[in-house]
Amino acid sequence: MKLIIAHLVLFIGVFGYSQQDTLKFEDKYKDKYEEFDFYAKPNRDNELSNYFKKRINFKMLEAIDFYESEEHKKRVFLTFYLDENNEPVNIKVSSKYSEFNKMIEDIFIRYPIEDLNIPKEYTNCAYFLQIISREDGKNIINCSSNIICDIYAIAEGCEASATNNDLRKCLSSRLEEHIINTISLEEIEESGILGRIKLETKFHIDESGNIINVNCKAPTDNLTVELNRVVSLFPKIKNPALRNGNPTREFFKDIITLQIDAENFKHEEENLYTETTNPNSENELSHYFKRFFTQDEIDTADILSNRKSISVSFSIDDRGKFIDLNCNSKVESLNKKIIQVFINVPKEKLNINSKSILELYTYQIITKVNGIKTIKCSTTPEVKLFPIYKGCGDSSTPNELKKCFSMKISEYVESNFDKNLKTSLFASGDYRIYCIFKVDIDGKIIDVRVRASNPIYAQEALRILNSIPEAIKPGYKNGEAIPTPYSLPIIFQIAKPNLSKDFIKNN
């Protein structure tokens, strides 16, 4: 079996650790936040805090939400490096709102760097400042009084790395080599996973350079155990991380993707439609398709990476005609041929029991098993009916039904959006809010998540989506109600305000 590194993503958390991960210091600190406070001594009345208070948009500040559940972890940090002219570069802010981050960056860049009182010995560091914290249920300006200087851990062979980023990349490379050389190929084979495997490595490096608190993730439980074993065997780090010149513990997270060559073992890949459509290489539809496709054509079929089969979907109009046929391979010429062949299939071979023009039918045509592509068609179709918003029941096709649903949701959000919020110093024109939610089996909207660059708009959209009345019929698959996920952008107009000197602070 061959393992080929296909992709490597390096994750660098805020000051060397994720805000969602708590690192225990049994001898000194309760967690990483307590350690940070020991060095940074944040104070809501220091010079930097007063500087931000005069310039920040307080409405945006109040609207900020955090991923963390514990209040003392709800903070916004700013990180930067210094160039050869002692000017801040690579400034980054840790909130999830790009407009808010840009505002914080713009305010900070005008602050005199000499007023940060960076000690001369703090060189070649990643510098960190706290800007915001949450106390007693409120977001407040609570800036660091002292700057934090972090130097990342140095693995064996990485001593020549020039910057913190170089140190992290070198450590990632060493970790990658270690996993490839140490992980059990038998365990990978037993996992039965073909193609790309994502391995999430996550651990801490303690003050002595030991790998501790290993908490990795792999696609299966057994492979996760094996990955944890392998990472725990990673050699001791030569030089531990330093915080303000003192050894500290560092959080490290890396995602490595392995490409598995499956020629040397057999495993039946999960089929997308097995449970409902009974695909079979010997049924009438399969025999029909085999008459029109050579094995060479099938072998060169390019299947989308997140799928294990090529399928054809369509709906049926009120005259019984197939419409809106679509095929999901990556090769347009193959799509056209599959659709053309499918159109001419004798209808009795399809086992269709049409009940509504709003139903969407899907048949698997080509599947991939053990890396080999074959014609293996569904015996019966997968039949979907999308959720129906009040007023959308008169749609003439599934596509129209989906568009109507999205339009109704967008209209509801826009019509209920606080008109006083439709001005922004940071954006104008068409503004997009990205929404993810589910329609459950009772037709209720649940699990709402909203992404927007402005926290005020995200908060308002979340409020509105959670207030949508029960005017939705649930989606169905093969006659049974199912939760249906949706992801859609909501677009509306944002105007520029008439600026006044107090706008940033008070709007």
CATH of the domain at 184: 3.30.1150
Are 409 and 376 in a shared domain?
no
Q: Which helix (H) or strand (E) holds 486?
A: strand 484-494
Are 106 and 183 in a shared domain?
no
- SS3 call for 435: strand
Token pair in block for residue 482: 């199912």
The highest-confidence range among 24-38, 212-226, 291-305, by mean pLDDT, is: 212-226
Q: pLDDT-based confidence at 27, cuts 50/70/90? A: low
Are 138 and 52 in a shared domain?
yes
pLDDT attached to residue 22: 38
Bridge partners (DSSP) of residue 384 are 360, 477
The DSSP result for 447-470, as a single string, is: EEEEE-SSHHHHHHHHHHHTT--S
Indicate the average pLDDT of the chain: 85
Whether residue 27 lies inside any domain: the answer is no
Measured in degrees and rounded to the nearest 5, phi and psi for residue 195 equal 80, -135
Asked if residue 54 has pLDDT above 70, the reply is: yes
- Distance (Å, whole) CA 153 – CA 149: 13
Strands (E), 44-87: 75-82
- Distance (Å, whole) CA 379 – CA 278: 5
Asked if residue 273 has pLDDT above 80, the reply is: no
Are 419 and 491 in a shared domain?
yes
Single pTM value for the model: 0.73
Whether residue 269 lies inside any domain: the answer is no
Higher-confidence residue: 9 or 161? 161
What is the count of structural domains for the chain?
4
- Distance (Å, whole) CA 44 – CA 410: 40
Query: CB-side exposure of 223: number of CA atoms within 13 Å?
Result: 20
Domain boundary among 335, 367, 385: 385
Whether residue 348 lies inside any domain: the answer is yes
Mean pLDDT (whole number) for 387-397 = 93
pLDDT digits (tens, 9 = 90+) for 304-350: 554 678 999 999 998 889 999 999 888 888 899 999 999 998 887 78
Asked if residue 6 has pLDDT above 70, the reply is: no
Asked if residue 111 has pLDDT above 90, the reply is: yes
The highest-confidence range among 42-46, 391-395, 409-413, 420-424, by mean pLDDT, is: 42-46
Q: Are 250 and 17 spatial neighbours (Cβ–Cβ below 8 Å)?
A: yes
pLDDT attached to residue 504: 46
Whether residue 292 lies inside any domain: the answer is yes
Whether residue 350 lies inside any domain: the answer is yes
Are 469 and 435 in a shared domain?
yes
Considering the chain, what percentage of its residues have pLDDT values greater than 90?
Answer: 58
Domain boundary among 351, 385, 419: 385
Are 366 and 393 in a shared domain?
no
Mean pLDDT (whole number) for 58-69 = 92
Higher-confidence residue: 259 or 247? 247
Q: Cα Rg for the chain, rounded, in angstroms?
A: 28
Are 227 and 302 in a shared domain?
no
For residue 338, the tally of other CB atoms under 10 A from its CB is: 25
Identify the domain containing residue 328 by its residue range: 274-385
Q: Are 438 and 451 spatial neighbours (Cβ–Cβ below 8 Å)?
A: no
For residue 258, the tally of other CB atoms under 10 A from its CB is: 22
Token pair in block for residue 141: 């300006």
Token pair in block for residue 207: 């003050």
